[in-house]
Amino acid sequence: DLSVKFLFLPDAVSLNGHEFRVGQQYKNELLKAYGCSPLNYFDAAKWRNEESLTIDAMESFRRFAESSNKGPISLNHRYLLEDVPMGLCLFCSLGRIAHVDTSIAESIVRLTSALLNEDFIATGRTIENMLGKNNGEVKIQDVMDIIA
């Protein structure tokens, strides 16, 4: 039924944030591999979205979910055209280099590539593409040299 609207927040993401906690676990494994401290998604979101940091992080998340853009109505949207090739591809690249599982993110990249008929694995922003190297040629130290 095309008359039913699908809203990413809250239809695909429960407002208890379970889906974000799963992603946070993967992200924190990646941060650890590069010698960084773990980051709580909800605290970070509160820092981005609130003027007062005294507000409960989950309350801040719920308010953001209720007031935010409800999602794209077309595949030609920055969530797919920008966030996937610029953000998720980089995340996956960092995971490959550090031997950290990013299979869920890689699945999203592959699905988006198929939907938009563009190989974001080949064309997206990856450490390998930025350094002009092939998969397997980049080491963690190469990444650390970039950000140092």
User: Is 114 strand, coil or helix?
Assistant: helix
pLDDT digits (tens, 9 = 90+) for 47-58: 877 888 888 888
SS3 content of the chain, % helix, strand, coil (to 5): 65, 0, 35
**Within 10 Å of residue 5's Cβ, how many Cβ atoms?**
9
How long is the chain? 148
* 67 token code pair: 């007031």
Mean pLDDT of 108-136: 92
pLDDT of residue 1: 44
| Residues 17, 61 contacting (CB under 8 angstroms) | yes
Show the 3-state SS of 75-91: CCCHHHHHHHHHHHHHH
Residue 82, pLDDT score: 92
Q: Up-side HSE of residue 17: CA atoms within 13 Å toward CB? A: 18
132 or 23: which leads in pLDDT: 132
Q: Greater confidence, 70 or 23? A: 23
What is residue 13's predicted lDDT score, i.e. its pLDDT?
A: 53
Task: Output the pTM of the full model.
Answer: 0.79
**CB distance 46 to 53 below 8 Å:** yes
Q: What is the pLDDT of residues 123-141, one digit of tens each?
A: 999 999 999 998 889 999 9
Is the pLDDT reported for residue 61 higher than 60? Answer: yes
Q: Is the pLDDT of residue 34 over 90?
A: yes
